[in-house]
Amino acid sequence: MVTTAFLAIYAFVWVESKTNRDIAPITGITWAAYQQDCGHAQWLKNRRITENTFINKYVQKGVQWDGYVVRVLLAEDDGSA
């Protein structure tokens, strides 16, 4: 039981130490720029180009954001809704 507790704590610390906020410096990316490059309208025009733009331009980039989250629906993210 002690071994299991140790492994659980070690895994938690390891996962938490690898979060985006620790490894991605804050950039000048804005929500408007992201929407223009990777928003829903761009996705409808050409999915593959939008995915490549996201991977090349936005993955692992930190952003500063003032505001709050009203609602998050995971069903919207996977397209099942």
Contact 64, 27 (CB under 8 A): no
pLDDT digits (tens, 9 = 90+) for 21-75: 556 677 888 888 888 999 999 999 999 999 999 999 998 888 777 788 888 777 7
What pTM, to 2 d.p., does this model score?
A: 0.52
Q: Are the C-beta atoms of 24 and 62 separated by less than 8 Å?
A: yes
**Region 10-19 average pLDDT:** 61
Higher confidence at residue 2 or residue 39?
Answer: 39
Q: At what angle do helices 31-38 and 47-57 cross, to 10 degrees?
A: 140
Confidence check: pLDDT of 77 > 90:
no
Domain ranges (residues) in the chain:
25-81
